[in-house]
Structure 1
Protein backbone atom coordinates (compact mmCIF):
# COMPACT_ATOMS: atom_id res chain seq x y z
CA UNK A 1 0.00 0.00 0.00
CA UNK A 2 2.83 2.40 0.92
CA UNK A 3 4.63 1.83 -2.38
CA UNK A 4 1.36 2.10 -4.33
CA UNK A 5 0.73 5.52 -2.79
CA UNK A 6 4.33 6.52 -3.48
CA UNK A 7 3.99 5.51 -7.12
CA UNK A 8 0.69 7.41 -7.51
CA UNK A 9 2.17 10.56 -5.92
CA UNK A 10 5.25 10.34 -8.11
CA UNK A 11 3.24 9.93 -11.30
CA UNK A 12 0.99 12.84 -10.31
CA UNK A 13 4.01 15.09 -9.73
CA UNK A 14 5.66 14.13 -13.02
CA UNK A 15 2.36 14.54 -14.88
CA UNK A 16 1.94 18.02 -13.41
CA UNK A 17 5.42 18.99 -14.62
CA UNK A 18 4.66 17.59 -18.07
CA UNK A 19 1.35 19.49 -18.26
CA UNK A 20 3.10 22.69 -17.12
CA UNK A 21 5.52 22.41 -20.00
CA UNK A 22 2.59 21.96 -22.38
CA UNK A 23 1.02 25.17 -21.07
CA UNK A 24 4.29 27.05 -21.51
CA UNK A 25 4.44 25.92 -25.13
CA UNK A 26 0.87 26.58 -26.29
CA UNK A 27 -1.28 27.86 -23.47
CA UNK A 28 -4.50 26.03 -22.57
CA UNK A 29 -4.51 23.92 -25.75
CA UNK A 30 -0.94 22.87 -25.09
CA UNK A 31 -1.83 22.00 -21.52
CA UNK A 32 -4.71 19.77 -22.63
CA UNK A 33 -2.59 18.06 -25.27
CA UNK A 34 0.22 17.52 -22.76
CA UNK A 35 -2.25 16.09 -20.24
CA UNK A 36 -3.54 13.61 -22.83
CA UNK A 37 0.02 12.66 -23.74
CA UNK A 38 0.94 12.26 -20.06
CA UNK A 39 -2.01 9.93 -19.41
CA UNK A 40 -1.11 7.88 -22.47
CA UNK A 41 2.56 7.81 -21.44
CA UNK A 42 1.70 6.73 -17.89
CA UNK A 43 -0.36 3.83 -19.21
CA UNK A 44 2.27 2.89 -21.78
CA UNK A 45 5.03 3.13 -19.18
CA UNK A 46 3.12 0.92 -16.76
CA UNK A 47 3.06 -1.91 -19.28
CA UNK A 48 6.24 -1.30 -21.25
CA UNK A 49 8.78 0.78 -19.30
CA UNK A 50 10.81 -2.30 -18.34
CA UNK A 51 11.12 -3.31 -22.00
CA UNK A 52 12.13 0.25 -22.92
CA UNK A 53 14.91 0.34 -20.34
CA UNK A 54 16.24 -3.13 -21.20
CA UNK A 55 16.28 -2.22 -24.89
CA UNK A 56 17.95 1.11 -24.09
CA UNK A 57 20.87 -0.80 -22.55
CA UNK A 58 20.81 -3.57 -25.18
CA UNK A 59 20.37 -6.14 -22.41
CA UNK A 60 20.51 -9.77 -23.53
CA UNK A 61 18.57 -12.55 -21.74
CA UNK A 62 20.66 -15.35 -20.19
CA UNK A 63 20.12 -18.45 -18.09
CA UNK A 64 22.17 -21.13 -16.33
CA UNK A 65 22.91 -22.93 -19.62
CA UNK A 66 25.02 -20.01 -20.95
CA UNK A 67 28.46 -21.04 -22.33
CA UNK A 68 30.32 -18.53 -20.11
CA UNK A 69 30.77 -20.08 -16.63
CA UNK A 70 30.55 -16.67 -14.95
CA UNK A 71 27.18 -16.01 -16.57
CA UNK A 72 25.98 -19.51 -15.63
CA UNK A 73 26.96 -18.90 -12.01
CA UNK A 74 25.24 -15.49 -12.06
CA UNK A 75 21.99 -16.94 -13.41
CA UNK A 76 22.13 -19.88 -11.02
CA UNK A 77 22.66 -17.58 -8.04
CA UNK A 78 19.72 -15.35 -9.03
CA UNK A 79 17.56 -18.49 -9.15
CA UNK A 80 18.78 -19.56 -5.70
CA UNK A 81 18.34 -16.10 -4.17
CA UNK A 82 14.81 -15.76 -5.58
CA UNK A 83 13.94 -19.07 -3.96
CA UNK A 84 15.42 -17.89 -0.64
CA UNK A 85 13.34 -14.71 -0.90
CA UNK A 86 10.21 -16.78 -1.70
CA UNK A 87 9.47 -14.75 -4.82
CA UNK A 88 8.98 -15.53 -8.53
CA UNK A 89 12.16 -15.93 -10.56
CA UNK A 90 12.71 -12.73 -12.56
CA UNK A 91 14.03 -12.72 -16.11
CA UNK A 92 17.81 -12.50 -16.08
CA UNK A 93 19.81 -10.21 -18.38
CA UNK A 94 23.40 -9.20 -19.01
CA UNK A 95 24.53 -5.82 -20.36
CA UNK A 96 27.70 -5.60 -22.44
CA UNK A 97 29.27 -2.71 -20.53
CA UNK A 98 32.69 -2.47 -18.85
CA UNK A 99 31.34 -0.48 -15.91
CA UNK A 100 30.40 -2.76 -12.98
CA UNK A 101 26.74 -2.12 -12.17
CA UNK A 102 23.28 -3.70 -11.99
CA UNK A 103 19.60 -2.79 -11.85
CA UNK A 104 16.13 -4.33 -11.54
CA UNK A 105 13.03 -3.44 -13.53
CA UNK A 106 9.42 -4.54 -14.02
CA UNK A 107 5.94 -3.54 -12.90
CA UNK A 108 5.62 -6.25 -10.22
CA UNK A 109 7.42 -9.38 -8.92
CA UNK A 110 5.56 -11.55 -11.45
CA UNK A 111 6.81 -9.42 -14.36
CA UNK A 112 10.32 -8.43 -13.30
CA UNK A 113 13.85 -8.58 -14.64
CA UNK A 114 17.32 -8.12 -13.20
CA UNK A 115 20.33 -7.05 -15.23
CA UNK A 116 24.05 -7.05 -14.47
CA UNK A 117 26.84 -5.63 -16.59
CA UNK A 118 29.67 -7.73 -17.96
CA UNK A 119 31.99 -5.53 -15.89
CA UNK A 120 30.22 -6.57 -12.70
CA UNK A 121 30.72 -10.27 -13.44
CA UNK A 122 34.39 -9.69 -14.30
CA UNK A 123 35.38 -7.45 -11.37
CA UNK A 124 33.49 -9.00 -8.44
CA UNK A 125 33.81 -12.44 -6.93
CA UNK A 126 30.82 -14.76 -6.79
CA UNK A 127 29.97 -13.96 -3.19
CA UNK A 128 29.91 -10.22 -3.94
CA UNK A 129 27.79 -10.75 -7.06
CA UNK A 130 25.28 -12.65 -4.93
CA UNK A 131 25.17 -9.68 -2.55
CA UNK A 132 24.47 -7.28 -5.42
CA UNK A 133 21.76 -9.44 -6.95
CA UNK A 134 20.11 -9.95 -3.56
CA UNK A 135 19.90 -6.14 -3.36
CA UNK A 136 18.23 -6.04 -6.79
CA UNK A 137 15.80 -8.80 -5.83
CA UNK A 138 14.92 -6.78 -2.74
CA UNK A 139 13.88 -3.92 -5.03
CA UNK A 140 11.63 -6.35 -6.90
CA UNK A 141 10.16 -7.84 -3.73
CA UNK A 142 9.55 -4.36 -2.27
CA UNK A 143 7.81 -3.36 -5.53
CA UNK A 144 10.21 -0.48 -6.06
CA UNK A 145 10.80 -1.40 -9.68
CA UNK A 146 7.55 0.03 -11.09
CA UNK A 147 8.33 3.40 -9.55
CA UNK A 148 11.94 3.25 -10.76
CA UNK A 149 11.20 2.35 -14.39
CA UNK A 150 8.18 4.62 -14.87
CA UNK A 151 10.14 7.51 -13.35
CA UNK A 152 13.01 6.90 -15.75
CA UNK A 153 10.68 6.96 -18.76
CA UNK A 154 8.69 10.06 -17.83
CA UNK A 155 11.61 12.06 -16.43
CA UNK A 156 13.45 11.54 -19.70
CA UNK A 157 10.39 12.73 -21.63
CA UNK A 158 10.16 15.82 -19.43
CA UNK A 159 13.74 16.80 -20.22
CA UNK A 160 13.10 16.34 -23.94
CA UNK A 161 9.85 18.31 -23.88
CA UNK A 162 11.46 21.10 -21.84
CA UNK A 163 14.09 21.51 -24.55
CA UNK A 164 11.34 21.64 -27.17
CA UNK A 165 9.55 24.29 -25.09
CA UNK A 166 12.61 26.51 -25.30
CA UNK A 167 12.74 26.29 -29.08
CA UNK A 168 8.96 26.66 -29.47
CA UNK A 169 9.19 30.03 -27.80
CA UNK A 170 11.10 31.43 -30.76
CA UNK A 171 9.50 32.45 -34.05
CA UNK A 172 11.17 32.05 -37.40
CA UNK A 173 12.67 35.57 -37.28
CA UNK A 174 14.07 35.05 -33.81
CA UNK A 175 11.37 36.96 -31.90
CA UNK A 176 9.72 35.54 -28.80
CA UNK A 177 6.16 34.37 -29.20
CA UNK A 178 3.54 32.96 -26.85
CA UNK A 179 4.31 32.82 -23.11
CA UNK A 180 8.07 33.22 -23.73
CA UNK A 181 9.22 34.01 -20.21
CA UNK A 182 7.21 31.13 -18.78
CA UNK A 183 8.68 28.85 -21.44
CA UNK A 184 12.20 29.88 -20.43
CA UNK A 185 11.46 29.29 -16.75
CA UNK A 186 9.97 25.87 -17.51
CA UNK A 187 12.94 24.95 -19.70
CA UNK A 188 15.26 25.60 -16.77
CA UNK A 189 13.19 24.34 -13.87
CA UNK A 190 11.30 21.33 -15.30
CA UNK A 191 14.32 18.98 -15.62
CA UNK A 192 15.46 20.04 -12.14
CA UNK A 193 12.01 19.38 -10.70
CA UNK A 194 11.88 15.97 -12.37
CA UNK A 195 15.33 15.15 -10.98
CA UNK A 196 14.29 16.21 -7.47
CA UNK A 197 11.23 13.95 -7.67
CA UNK A 198 13.55 11.07 -8.60
CA UNK A 199 15.91 11.88 -5.76
CA UNK A 200 13.08 12.12 -3.24
CA UNK A 201 12.35 8.43 -3.67
CA UNK A 202 15.79 7.06 -4.50
CA UNK A 203 18.01 7.39 -1.48
CA UNK A 204 15.77 5.95 1.24
CA UNK A 205 14.87 3.12 -1.12
CA UNK A 206 18.54 2.18 -1.57
CA UNK A 207 19.08 1.86 2.18
CA UNK A 208 16.02 -0.36 2.47
CA UNK A 209 17.11 -2.55 -0.46
CA UNK A 210 20.58 -2.89 1.09
CA UNK A 211 19.01 -4.06 4.35
CA UNK A 212 16.52 -6.45 2.71
CA UNK A 213 19.13 -7.72 0.26
CA UNK A 214 21.49 -8.53 3.12
CA UNK A 215 18.71 -10.55 4.72
CA UNK A 216 18.01 -12.43 1.48
CA UNK A 217 21.67 -13.35 0.95
CA UNK A 218 22.42 -13.77 4.64
CA UNK A 219 25.77 -12.03 3.97
CA UNK A 220 25.80 -8.24 4.63
CA UNK A 221 29.59 -8.13 4.33
CA UNK A 222 29.43 -9.41 0.74
CA UNK A 223 27.20 -6.51 -0.29
CA UNK A 224 29.35 -4.00 1.62
CA UNK A 225 32.46 -5.31 -0.14
CA UNK A 226 30.70 -5.21 -3.52
CA UNK A 227 29.57 -1.60 -2.99
CA UNK A 228 33.11 -0.50 -2.18
CA UNK A 229 34.50 -2.19 -5.31
CA UNK A 230 31.76 -0.91 -7.61
CA UNK A 231 32.23 2.62 -6.26
CA UNK A 232 35.99 2.42 -6.90
CA UNK A 233 35.56 1.27 -10.50
CA UNK A 234 32.25 2.76 -11.64
CA UNK A 235 33.29 6.40 -11.63
CA UNK A 236 36.51 5.66 -13.51
CA UNK A 237 34.78 3.58 -16.20
CA UNK A 238 32.18 5.41 -18.28
CA UNK A 239 28.81 3.92 -19.15
CA UNK A 240 27.95 5.62 -22.48
CA UNK A 241 24.33 4.42 -22.48
CA UNK A 242 23.74 5.82 -18.98
CA UNK A 243 25.41 9.11 -19.92
CA UNK A 244 23.05 9.34 -22.92
CA UNK A 245 20.02 8.52 -20.71
CA UNK A 246 20.69 10.17 -17.32
CA UNK A 247 17.03 9.84 -16.28
CA UNK A 248 17.73 6.13 -15.70
CA UNK A 249 20.67 6.68 -13.34
CA UNK A 250 18.59 6.17 -10.17
CA UNK A 251 17.84 2.58 -11.23
CA UNK A 252 21.41 1.33 -10.78
CA UNK A 253 22.91 0.06 -7.54
CA UNK A 254 25.64 2.73 -7.85
CA UNK A 255 25.16 5.98 -9.79
CA UNK A 256 26.51 5.17 -13.29
CA UNK A 257 27.14 8.79 -14.28
CA UNK A 258 30.80 9.78 -14.40
CA UNK A 259 31.96 11.82 -11.43
CA UNK A 260 28.75 11.44 -9.42
CA UNK A 261 28.86 10.14 -5.86
CA UNK A 262 28.36 12.86 -3.25
CA UNK A 263 25.63 12.39 -0.68
CA UNK A 264 23.84 15.68 -1.23
CA UNK A 265 20.52 17.07 -2.43
CA UNK A 266 21.35 16.46 -6.09
CA UNK A 267 22.50 12.85 -5.74
CA UNK A 268 20.15 9.98 -6.62
CA UNK A 269 22.09 7.62 -4.35
CA UNK A 270 23.33 7.78 -0.77
CA UNK A 271 27.10 7.89 -0.43
CA UNK A 272 28.66 4.46 -0.55
CA UNK A 273 30.42 5.12 2.75
CA UNK A 274 27.06 5.72 4.45
CA UNK A 275 25.58 2.57 2.92
CA UNK A 276 28.56 0.47 4.01
CA UNK A 277 28.31 1.94 7.52
CA UNK A 278 24.62 0.97 7.67
CA UNK A 279 25.48 -2.57 6.56
CA UNK A 280 28.24 -2.82 9.17
CA UNK A 281 25.74 -1.72 11.81
CA UNK A 282 23.45 -4.51 10.61
CA UNK A 283 26.33 -7.00 10.86
CA UNK A 284 26.99 -5.81 14.39
CA UNK A 285 23.39 -6.46 15.39
CA UNK A 286 23.49 -9.92 13.81
CA UNK A 287 26.58 -10.93 15.80
CA UNK A 288 25.53 -9.29 19.09
Structure 2
Protein backbone atom coordinates (compact mmCIF):
# COMPACT_ATOMS: atom_id res chain seq x y z
CA UNK A 1 0.00 0.00 0.00
CA UNK A 2 2.86 2.38 0.85
CA UNK A 3 4.56 1.64 -2.49
CA UNK A 4 1.34 2.21 -4.44
CA UNK A 5 0.75 5.51 -2.62
CA UNK A 6 4.27 6.65 -3.49
CA UNK A 7 3.79 5.75 -7.17
CA UNK A 8 0.50 7.65 -7.27
CA UNK A 9 1.99 10.72 -5.60
CA UNK A 10 5.07 10.66 -7.84
CA UNK A 11 2.80 10.39 -10.89
CA UNK A 12 0.78 13.34 -9.62
CA UNK A 13 3.96 15.37 -9.20
CA UNK A 14 5.08 14.54 -12.75
CA UNK A 15 1.62 15.41 -14.13
CA UNK A 16 1.72 18.72 -12.26
CA UNK A 17 5.08 19.50 -13.80
CA UNK A 18 3.83 18.71 -17.31
CA UNK A 19 0.67 20.76 -16.78
CA UNK A 20 2.71 23.76 -15.66
CA UNK A 21 4.95 23.45 -18.71
CA UNK A 22 1.91 23.28 -20.98
CA UNK A 23 0.26 26.28 -19.32
CA UNK A 24 3.36 28.42 -19.75
CA UNK A 25 4.49 27.32 -23.19
CA UNK A 26 1.96 25.03 -24.79
CA UNK A 27 3.04 21.59 -26.02
CA UNK A 28 6.49 22.90 -26.94
CA UNK A 29 6.99 24.32 -23.47
CA UNK A 30 5.97 21.04 -21.89
CA UNK A 31 8.50 19.11 -24.01
CA UNK A 32 11.33 21.55 -23.22
CA UNK A 33 10.52 21.47 -19.51
CA UNK A 34 10.48 17.67 -19.57
CA UNK A 35 13.89 17.53 -21.25
CA UNK A 36 15.36 19.92 -18.69
CA UNK A 37 13.93 17.88 -15.83
CA UNK A 38 15.25 14.65 -17.36
CA UNK A 39 18.73 16.16 -17.55
CA UNK A 40 18.52 17.28 -13.93
CA UNK A 41 17.33 13.85 -12.82
CA UNK A 42 20.11 12.10 -14.73
CA UNK A 43 22.77 14.31 -13.19
CA UNK A 44 21.31 13.87 -9.71
CA UNK A 45 20.98 10.09 -10.20
CA UNK A 46 24.72 9.71 -10.71
CA UNK A 47 25.98 12.39 -8.34
CA UNK A 48 23.48 12.75 -5.47
CA UNK A 49 25.59 10.84 -2.93
CA UNK A 50 28.75 12.84 -3.66
CA UNK A 51 26.83 16.12 -3.51
CA UNK A 52 25.16 15.30 -0.17
CA UNK A 53 28.29 13.92 1.51
CA UNK A 54 30.40 16.85 0.32
CA UNK A 55 27.76 19.28 1.57
CA UNK A 56 28.16 17.81 5.06
CA UNK A 57 31.98 17.49 4.95
CA UNK A 58 31.50 13.82 5.77
CA UNK A 59 34.59 11.61 6.17
CA UNK A 60 34.54 7.93 5.28
CA UNK A 61 35.46 5.53 8.06
CA UNK A 62 36.30 1.83 8.10
CA UNK A 63 36.93 -0.99 10.52
CA UNK A 64 40.26 0.58 11.47
CA UNK A 65 39.18 4.18 12.10
CA UNK A 66 35.76 3.54 13.70
CA UNK A 67 35.66 -0.19 14.49
CA UNK A 68 32.54 -0.38 16.69
CA UNK A 69 30.40 1.89 14.55
CA UNK A 70 31.52 0.23 11.33
CA UNK A 71 30.95 -3.29 12.70
CA UNK A 72 27.48 -2.31 13.94
CA UNK A 73 26.49 -1.07 10.47
CA UNK A 74 27.96 -4.26 8.95
CA UNK A 75 25.90 -6.44 11.29
CA UNK A 76 22.73 -4.51 10.51
CA UNK A 77 23.42 -4.71 6.76
CA UNK A 78 23.73 -8.50 7.07
CA UNK A 79 20.44 -8.65 8.95
CA UNK A 80 18.81 -6.53 6.24
CA UNK A 81 20.38 -8.70 3.49
CA UNK A 82 21.94 -5.61 1.95
CA UNK A 83 25.42 -5.00 0.50
CA UNK A 84 27.69 -3.25 2.97
CA UNK A 85 27.20 0.52 2.44
CA UNK A 86 30.00 3.03 2.74
CA UNK A 87 30.05 4.48 6.24
CA UNK A 88 30.66 8.15 7.03
CA UNK A 89 31.02 10.32 10.09
CA UNK A 90 30.19 14.02 10.25
CA UNK A 91 32.07 16.01 12.87
CA UNK A 92 29.12 18.01 14.13
CA UNK A 93 27.49 18.16 17.58
CA UNK A 94 24.05 18.20 15.94
CA UNK A 95 22.51 14.73 16.44
CA UNK A 96 21.32 13.27 13.16
CA UNK A 97 21.87 10.62 10.48
CA UNK A 98 20.92 10.00 6.86
CA UNK A 99 21.34 7.61 3.94
CA UNK A 100 22.14 8.43 0.34
CA UNK A 101 23.00 6.70 -2.94
CA UNK A 102 21.17 5.70 -6.09
CA UNK A 103 20.70 2.00 -5.17
CA UNK A 104 21.72 -0.53 -2.50
CA UNK A 105 24.94 -1.33 -4.38
CA UNK A 106 26.02 2.34 -4.32
CA UNK A 107 24.67 3.41 -0.94
CA UNK A 108 26.20 5.29 1.97
CA UNK A 109 25.08 5.96 5.53
CA UNK A 110 26.27 8.85 7.67
CA UNK A 111 25.89 9.85 11.29
CA UNK A 112 27.10 12.86 13.23
CA UNK A 113 29.50 12.52 16.12
CA UNK A 114 26.86 14.30 18.17
CA UNK A 115 24.44 11.43 17.57
CA UNK A 116 27.02 8.79 18.53
CA UNK A 117 27.87 10.59 21.76
CA UNK A 118 24.22 11.03 22.77
CA UNK A 119 22.70 7.59 22.19
CA UNK A 120 23.22 4.11 23.57
CA UNK A 121 24.42 1.30 21.33
CA UNK A 122 20.88 -0.08 20.98
CA UNK A 123 19.54 3.36 20.02
CA UNK A 124 22.32 3.87 17.48
CA UNK A 125 21.48 0.46 16.03
CA UNK A 126 17.85 1.54 15.72
CA UNK A 127 18.80 4.76 13.93
CA UNK A 128 21.17 3.07 11.50
CA UNK A 129 18.63 0.30 10.88
CA UNK A 130 16.15 3.06 9.94
CA UNK A 131 18.67 4.43 7.42
CA UNK A 132 19.29 0.95 6.01
CA UNK A 133 15.50 0.67 5.74
CA UNK A 134 15.55 3.71 3.47
CA UNK A 135 18.20 1.98 1.33
CA UNK A 136 16.30 -1.32 1.20
CA UNK A 137 13.09 0.49 0.24
CA UNK A 138 15.05 2.51 -2.38
CA UNK A 139 13.84 5.72 -0.78
CA UNK A 140 17.13 7.46 -1.50
CA UNK A 141 16.44 7.30 -5.24
CA UNK A 142 12.73 8.11 -4.86
CA UNK A 143 13.35 11.16 -2.70
CA UNK A 144 16.10 12.37 -5.06
CA UNK A 145 13.64 12.16 -7.96
CA UNK A 146 10.95 13.92 -5.95
CA UNK A 147 13.27 16.71 -4.85
CA UNK A 148 14.50 17.20 -8.43
CA UNK A 149 11.01 17.36 -9.96
CA UNK A 150 9.76 19.67 -7.19
CA UNK A 151 12.79 21.90 -7.72
CA UNK A 152 12.14 21.95 -11.47
CA UNK A 153 8.52 22.99 -10.85
CA UNK A 154 9.65 25.91 -8.70
CA UNK A 155 12.27 26.90 -11.29
CA UNK A 156 9.72 26.73 -14.12
CA UNK A 157 7.18 28.72 -12.11
CA UNK A 158 9.72 31.46 -11.43
CA UNK A 159 10.66 31.49 -15.10
CA UNK A 160 7.01 31.80 -16.12
CA UNK A 161 6.31 34.58 -13.64
CA UNK A 162 9.30 36.59 -14.79
CA UNK A 163 9.02 36.13 -18.54
CA UNK A 164 5.32 35.76 -19.10
CA UNK A 165 3.61 37.54 -16.26
CA UNK A 166 3.87 40.91 -17.99
CA UNK A 167 2.45 39.84 -21.36
CA UNK A 168 -1.12 41.06 -21.78
CA UNK A 169 -1.75 40.41 -25.47
CA UNK A 170 -3.24 36.97 -24.86
CA UNK A 171 -6.09 38.30 -22.75
CA UNK A 172 -7.03 38.29 -19.13
CA UNK A 173 -7.85 34.57 -19.20
CA UNK A 174 -4.30 33.58 -20.08
CA UNK A 175 -2.87 36.02 -17.54
CA UNK A 176 -5.06 34.55 -14.82
CA UNK A 177 -4.11 31.01 -15.82
CA UNK A 178 -0.41 31.86 -15.76
CA UNK A 179 -0.60 33.53 -12.37
CA UNK A 180 -2.63 30.63 -10.99
CA UNK A 181 -0.11 28.14 -12.36
CA UNK A 182 3.01 29.85 -11.05
CA UNK A 183 1.50 30.41 -7.60
CA UNK A 184 -0.38 27.15 -7.08
CA UNK A 185 2.01 24.70 -8.77
CA UNK A 186 5.01 25.14 -6.40
CA UNK A 187 2.74 24.97 -3.35
CA UNK A 188 1.04 21.82 -4.69
CA UNK A 189 4.45 20.30 -5.45
CA UNK A 190 5.56 21.00 -1.88
CA UNK A 191 2.46 19.27 -0.50
CA UNK A 192 2.99 16.20 -2.71
CA UNK A 193 6.70 16.10 -1.80
CA UNK A 194 5.86 16.18 1.91
CA UNK A 195 3.26 13.44 1.48
CA UNK A 196 5.79 11.17 -0.26
CA UNK A 197 8.48 11.90 2.32
CA UNK A 198 6.16 11.18 5.25
CA UNK A 199 5.09 7.90 3.68
CA UNK A 200 8.71 6.85 3.24
CA UNK A 201 9.58 7.79 6.84
CA UNK A 202 6.89 5.52 8.27
CA UNK A 203 8.13 2.76 5.98
CA UNK A 204 11.75 3.24 7.07
CA UNK A 205 10.71 3.21 10.75
CA UNK A 206 8.95 -0.12 10.22
CA UNK A 207 11.93 -1.50 8.30
CA UNK A 208 14.32 -0.25 10.98
CA UNK A 209 12.28 -1.98 13.67
CA UNK A 210 12.43 -5.22 11.67
CA UNK A 211 16.17 -5.00 10.92
CA UNK A 212 17.25 -4.10 14.45
CA UNK A 213 14.55 -6.17 16.12
CA UNK A 214 14.17 -3.40 18.71
CA UNK A 215 11.51 -0.82 17.81
CA UNK A 216 11.54 0.69 21.30
CA UNK A 217 15.24 1.56 20.97
CA UNK A 218 14.46 3.45 17.75
CA UNK A 219 11.54 5.16 19.49
CA UNK A 220 13.83 6.17 22.36
CA UNK A 221 16.39 7.53 19.90
CA UNK A 222 13.74 9.58 18.08
CA UNK A 223 12.60 11.08 21.39
CA UNK A 224 16.16 12.03 22.38
CA UNK A 225 17.07 13.47 18.98
CA UNK A 226 13.86 15.49 18.63
CA UNK A 227 14.51 16.99 22.05
CA UNK A 228 17.93 18.26 21.01
CA UNK A 229 17.71 19.30 17.33
CA UNK A 230 16.33 22.70 18.26
CA UNK A 231 19.05 23.31 20.85
CA UNK A 232 22.10 22.51 18.70
CA UNK A 233 22.62 24.42 15.44
CA UNK A 234 22.81 22.55 12.14
CA UNK A 235 24.85 24.75 9.76
CA UNK A 236 24.11 22.61 6.70
CA UNK A 237 20.34 22.77 7.18
CA UNK A 238 20.57 26.51 7.81
CA UNK A 239 22.40 27.01 4.51
CA UNK A 240 20.36 24.43 2.59
CA UNK A 241 16.84 23.99 4.01
CA UNK A 242 16.13 21.25 1.45
CA UNK A 243 18.60 19.04 3.33
CA UNK A 244 16.04 18.66 6.12
CA UNK A 245 14.29 15.81 4.28
CA UNK A 246 17.50 13.74 4.52
CA UNK A 247 17.62 13.53 8.29
CA UNK A 248 15.97 11.00 10.55
CA UNK A 249 14.60 13.96 12.55
CA UNK A 250 14.54 17.38 10.83
CA UNK A 251 14.80 20.77 12.48
CA UNK A 252 11.34 21.41 13.89
CA UNK A 253 8.76 23.26 11.84
CA UNK A 254 4.98 23.08 12.10
CA UNK A 255 3.65 19.60 11.33
CA UNK A 256 1.65 20.99 8.42
CA UNK A 257 4.81 21.98 6.54
CA UNK A 258 7.21 19.28 7.75
CA UNK A 259 8.71 16.65 5.44
CA UNK A 260 8.45 14.16 8.33
CA UNK A 261 5.51 12.92 10.39
CA UNK A 262 5.28 14.24 13.93
CA UNK A 263 7.80 12.43 16.12
CA UNK A 264 5.07 11.55 18.60
CA UNK A 265 3.13 9.72 15.86
CA UNK A 266 6.24 7.84 14.76
CA UNK A 267 6.95 6.77 18.33
CA UNK A 268 3.34 5.61 18.75
CA UNK A 269 3.60 3.55 15.55
CA UNK A 270 6.84 1.96 16.80
CA UNK A 271 5.19 1.12 20.11
CA UNK A 272 2.45 -0.68 18.18
CA UNK A 273 5.12 -2.64 16.28
CA UNK A 274 6.88 -3.50 19.56
CA UNK A 275 3.67 -5.02 20.89
CA UNK A 276 3.79 -7.58 18.08
CA UNK A 277 7.49 -8.43 18.43
CA UNK A 278 9.35 -10.56 20.93
CA UNK A 279 12.34 -9.50 23.07
CA UNK A 280 14.98 -7.55 21.13
CA UNK A 281 18.14 -9.39 20.01
CA UNK A 282 21.61 -8.56 21.29
CA UNK A 283 23.34 -6.36 18.71
CA UNK A 284 26.90 -7.68 18.45
CA UNK A 285 28.45 -6.84 21.80
CA UNK A 286 27.38 -8.74 24.94
CA UNK A 287 25.09 -7.00 27.37
CA UNK A 288 27.95 -6.71 29.87
CA UNK A 289 29.82 -4.31 27.55
CA UNK A 290 30.18 -0.66 28.50
CA UNK A 291 27.10 0.85 26.89
CA UNK A 292 25.15 3.90 27.96
CA UNK A 293 21.73 2.82 29.28
CA UNK A 294 18.61 4.34 27.72
CA UNK A 295 18.02 6.36 30.86
CA UNK A 296 21.52 7.87 30.93
CA UNK A 297 21.90 11.66 30.78
CA UNK A 298 22.41 12.92 27.20
CA UNK A 299 25.98 14.05 27.93
CA UNK A 300 27.24 10.57 28.79
CA UNK A 301 29.25 9.14 25.89
CA UNK A 302 28.15 6.04 24.04
CA UNK A 303 30.48 3.09 23.55
CA UNK A 304 30.36 3.92 19.82
CA UNK A 305 31.56 7.49 20.22
CA UNK A 306 34.72 7.75 18.08
CA UNK A 307 36.04 10.49 20.39
CA UNK A 308 35.71 8.39 23.54
CA UNK A 309 38.97 7.81 25.41
TM-score, normalised with respect to structure 2:
0.77
Confirm or deny that 1:190 pairs with 2:181.
no
Check conservation: 2:165, 2:178, Cα contact below 8 A. Answer: no
Match of 2:268 among 277, 282, 287: 277
Q: C-alpha offsets along residues 12-70 of structure 1, whole Å, 9 cap, x if unaligned?
A: 4333333344345444433221121122233333333333333333333222322xxxx
Match of 1:100 among 95, 98, 101: 95
Confirm or deny that 1:223 pairs with 2:250.
no
Match of 2:113 among 111, 118, 121: 118
Check conservation: 1:21, 1:162, Cα contact below 8 A. Answer: yes
Residue 281 of structure 1: CA displacement?
2.4
Residue 9 of structure 1: CA displacement?
4.7
Check conservation: 1:153, 1:247, Cα contact below 8 A. Answer: no
Match of 1:201 in 2: 196
Residue 108 of structure 1: CA displacement?
1.9
Confirm or deny that 1:242 pairs with 2:237.
yes
Residue 151 of structure 1: CA displacement?
1.6
Q: Hey, what's the Cα distance between the residues in 2 that align with 1:156 and 1:123?
A: 34
Alignment gaps of 5+ in structure 1: none
Confirm or deny that 1:53 pairs with 2:52.
yes
Alignment gaps of 5+ in structure 2: 280-309
How well do the aligned residues superpose, as a CA RMSD in angstroms? 2.9
Q: Hey, what's the Cα distance between the residues in 1 that align with 2:169 and 2:240?
A: 31
Q: Hey, what's the Cα distance between the residues in 1 that align with 2:187 and 2:92?
A: 28
Q: C-alpha offsets along residues 70-115 of structure 1, whole Å, 9 cap, x if unaligned?
A: x443222111211122210111122344321111122221121112
Match of 1:75 in 2: 70
SS at match of 2:107: strand
Q: Hey, what's the Cα distance between the residues in 2 that align with 1:6 and 1:282?
A: 21
Residue 228 of structure 1: CA displacement?
0.3
Q: Hey, what's the Cα distance between the residues in 2 that align with 1:12 and 1:44?
A: 20
Confirm or deny that 1:14 pairs with 2:7.
no
Q: Which has the higher contact order (CA 8 A, sep 6+)?
A: 2
Check conservation: 1:170, 1:177, Cα contact below 8 A. Answer: no
Which stretch shows the higher mean deviation, 211-220 or 175-184?
175-184
SS at match of 1:137: helix
Q: Hey, what's the Cα distance between the residues in 2 that align with 1:151 and 1:61?
A: 27
Provide the aligned length of Structure 1 versus Structure 2: 276
Check conservation: 1:49, 1:153, Cα contact below 8 A. Answer: no
SS at match of 2:50: helix
Check conservation: 2:129, 2:208, Cα contact below 8 A. Answer: yes
Q: C-alpha offsets along residues 142-185 of structure 1, whole Å, 9 cap, x if unaligned?
A: 222211222223323333333333222356xxx76775433432
Match of 2:305 in 1: none
Confirm or deny that 1:213 pairs with 2:208.
yes
Q: Hey, what's the Cα distance between the residues in 2 that align with 1:129 and 1:23?
A: 48
